Structure formats: structure tokens, C-alpha cells
Amino acid sequence: MSAIGIVSMRSLPRLRAAIRAFGFAGLALIAVAVGLSDVIARAPADATGIGPVLAPPSSQFLLGTDALGRDVLSETLHALAVTLIHAGLATAITLAAGSLFGFIAARLPWKSGVVVRWFAGILGAVPALLLAILFVGIATRDYAAIAAGLAAAPLAFSRTYDRARALSVSRHAEFARATGIQGATLMRRDLAYEFRDTFLTIAARALAAVTITLSTMSFLGFGAVPPHRDLGLMIAAARASYLEAWWVAAFPALALLLLILFARLAAALDEGERP
């Protein structure tokens, strides 16, 4: 291997760590912007007639106004807050019903976890978006965040289950059992170590997945309910005028893209990898 090759191989983990840190910094910045959205935004959420209709970006309205005279900057900030809150809830559900349950299911007695793994595989064969829409159809749009979290859970479950199965038959597990350590103690220990090392990565991955699902659901009319508009709903509403007034869709789309991009970077996802 050439000297350049060796150097690049050595610097690869450092580069990955830097990219992850950049992703988390970006997410933190978004969280701060969301936290201060009521202060930064010049108008409350869904306030119409703030300015002229479809005014382009200017010094008065930095990101322009929409078809109802709403300030696009204020609306984007409010919608980003709604998106992040819903995505946070959905992420928590994915982590609990997918990752945590997957870890526990791998240690269930009488190999009953295999049946759950099979069922997760069935649910994972349907696109998460369609699964989430189905859940919303069965319940109501008020439960969109829960539906998105549950729809992303099968994939998270399968990943964690497979890793936990490998851990449960590893050498350290064999030694532990041979020395009389209880299965429950071993599981607690593995759970603590596994999640201590990977929790943030798994959470960022789930955040990327549920944000895409939630915003697409809202865009299709199965997600957020007005007046609590999220970015997907805001972009959907902009469809009527964005061909002539690009700013009404471009800025919410940019905010959404940044949120997903930072979550992907924080999760150290490969380019094109499914979150």
C-alpha cells in the first residue's frame, strides 16, 4: 500500500468522527433555533396578512411572504419546531419499540424472539411510509408521530435483534454463562454497554428516518393537522404558488433538508444508505 493510502486509512476514523461531530453540532444549532423560534420569528404561527401577497425575499421580509401574506421565515421556524417535536417523539418510539425491544426479544426464552423477528421482517417488507399511513388510517392524523415511530421500528428492531443475537452467542457470553452469571444480569450488562456506545448514533439514525416519513406523510395529507403546520404540510401548501414564487417552497425544503442531512451525518450514514 502506498504512503498516501496508509495515511488516508489512518485518518479515516478521525474524519468520520469529525463528520459526526459536525452533524451533532448542526442538530444542536437547529434545536437552538427551534427553542428561540418564538423570539426570532416576527409573527406568530399561521398569522396571515403580515405583508403583501407573494412578496419576494427582501430586507423587510428576509425569506419573502406566501400566498396568504404570511412571513416565510417565521412560518419556516414554527414549522421546523413542529417537525422537530413530532420527530423527537417518533424517534423515542422507534428507539423503544424497535431498538430496545429488539435487544430484549433476542434474549426471550424458548426462542420466542424468532417469531417476533419474523413478524418485524414482514412489516419491514412494506415501505415505512405506507405502513405509517396505514397506522394513521386506522387511528387518526393526531397520532401521526406515533405512527411514524412505529413504522420505523421494524427496521430498527431487525438491526438490533440481529446484533443482540450475535452478542448472546459470543465468546464472552459463553464464558459468563459458564461462570454462573445469570442470563438477566448478562443482558443488563450487554444492554448498558451496547447502548452506551451506540445510543446517539442509533437515535440520530432514527431521527433521520422518522423525519423523512413524517414530512412525507404531512405532504400527502396524512400527517400534521393545521394550524400546527410542519415542514411537509408547509411545502404541500406551497405547491399552488411555488412555480411562480420559488421562495414559498424552497426555504422550508432547505430547512427540512438540513435537518435530515445533519441527522444522517450524526449517524455516520454512508451516502445513499437507508436510515
Binding site for another protein (CB under 8 A): 8, 118-119, 121-123, 125-130, 133-134, 136-138, 208, 212, 215-216, 219-222, 232, 235, 239, 242-243, 246, 249, 253, 256-257, 260-261, 264-265, 269-274
Q: Judged by CB, which is closer to another protein: 15, or 181?
A: 15
Burial of 273 (0-12, 13-18, 19+ CB in 10 A): exposed
Q: Judged by CB, which is closer to another protein: 167, or 236?
A: 236
Residue 131: CB minimum distance to another protein, A: 8
C-alpha pair distances (Å), 215 with each of 70, 159, 219: 20, 24, 6
**Start-end of H helices in 101-246:** 101-105, 112-124, 128-138, 144-168, 171-178, 183-220, 231-238
Q: Judged by CB, which is closer to another protein: 110, or 118?
A: 118
Residue 261: CB minimum distance to another protein, A: 4
Helices (H) and strands (E) in the chain, counts: 11, 0
| C-alpha cell, 182 | 445469570
Residue 29: CB minimum distance to another protein, A: 16
Coil/strand/helix, residue 9: helix
CA–CA separation, 172 vs 184, rounded Å? 15
Residue 96: CB minimum distance to another protein, A: 22
Nearest-5° angle of CA 213, CA 248, CA 148?
10
Residue 258: CB minimum distance to another protein, A: 8
Q: Judged by CB, which is closer to another protein: 43, or 265?
A: 265
Residue 180: phi and psi, rounded to 5, are 90, 15
Q: Judged by CB, which is closer to another protein: 43, or 105?
A: 105
C-alpha pair distances (Å), 36 with each of 25, 42, 77, 83, 100: 17, 12, 9, 15, 32
Q: Judged by CB, which is closer to another protein: 153, or 256?
A: 256
CA–CA separation, 224 vs 215, rounded Å? 8
Residue 172: CB minimum distance to another protein, A: 27
Residue 177: CB minimum distance to another protein, A: 29
Q: Judged by CB, which is closer to another protein: 90, or 173?
A: 90
